[in-house]
Amino acid sequence: MRACGPMPEAERVLMPGEARGPVLHLEEPVSFWGGLDPKTGIIIDQAHPQVGESVVGRILVMPSGRGSSSGSSVLTEVLRAGIGPAGIVMQQADEIFVIGVLAAEELYDITVPVFTVDTATYTALAAASAVLMTPDGTITAG
């Protein structure tokens, strides 16, 4: 286990949008480049607890990002191909993910919401089976 998790951050809308979907809770940060197969949307980081899980159509609830700068273009690519996540909820903002969504919006008019939440909300969402993200920044389980 990690000796220290990410520092909690205030609730913020990093990319606005609406999404509803089943939750995929990533127990550890993931690098999309080298950690996600851009052809299938399946996590391939062999050291990650959620290896083998698919991100397709799911709301990712994750502590933060890690690893490669190429995570941005891998996220744009899976969004283009229609095999990306439906939304992303993070405990700590990660610009590499946000830039990937920005590029998808510029190139393909595809966007997904990206929010940060505080620790209490994060814990509740991580245990939820499905989540609704709305354009005003509220997130509800179910």
Partner 1 sequence: MPLTLDDRDQALLNGAGGAAAALAMRVVSRTAEVMQAQRLIDITGAHIDSCLYNGQASVDFAQRLADGGAQVSVPATLNVSSLDLIHPELFRGDAHTAEQGRRLMELYEGMGCRPTFTCAPYQEDNRPNLGEHVVWAESNAIVFANSVLGARTHRYGDFLDISAAITGRAPLAGLHLDANRRATVVFDVSGLPERLTALDAFYPLLGHHIGRQVGKAVPVVVGAPDGVAEHALKALGAAGAAAGAVGMFHLVGSTPEAPTLDAALGGEPAAQTHAVTTADIRLARDQLTTSSSSRLGVVSLGTPHYSVAEFGRVVDLLDDRPIHPSVRLYINTGRSVANEIALRGWTPRLEASGVQIVTDTCTYITPIIEAVDGIAMTDSAKWAYYAPGNLGLDVAFGSVEDCVESAVRGEIVRDESVWADA
68 is catalytic: yes
d(CA 83, CA 23): 15
The nearer residue to partner 1, 47 or 120, going by C-beta atoms, is 47
**x-marked contacts with partner 1 along 101-130 as a string, rule CB under 8 A:** -xxx-xxx----------------------
> Phi, psi at residue 109, to the nearest 5°?
60, 30
In the complex, the smallest distance separating the C-beta of residue 140 from partner 1, rounded to whole angstroms, is: 23
The nearer residue to partner 1, 31 or 121, going by C-beta atoms, is 31
Q: Which SS3 state, helix, strand or coil, does residue 60 take?
A: strand
**C-beta pairs of 4-10 under 8 Å, 24+ apart in sequence:** 5/63, 5/91, 6/63, 6/64, 6/91, 6/92, 7/92, 8/91, 8/92, 8/118, 8/119, 8/122, 9/91, 9/92, 9/93, 9/116, 9/118, 10/116, 10/118
27 binds partner 1 (CB under 8 A): no
The count of residues interacting with partner 1 (CB under 8 A) is 49
Residue selected from 23, 55, 77, 90 as contacting partner 1 according to rule CB under 8 A = 77
Kindly list the catalytic residues: 68
- Applying CB under 8 A, the residues found at the interface with partner 1 are 2-7, 14, 29, 31, 33-35, 38-39, 44-47, 63-74, 76-77, 79-81, 92-96, 98-100, 102-104, 106-108
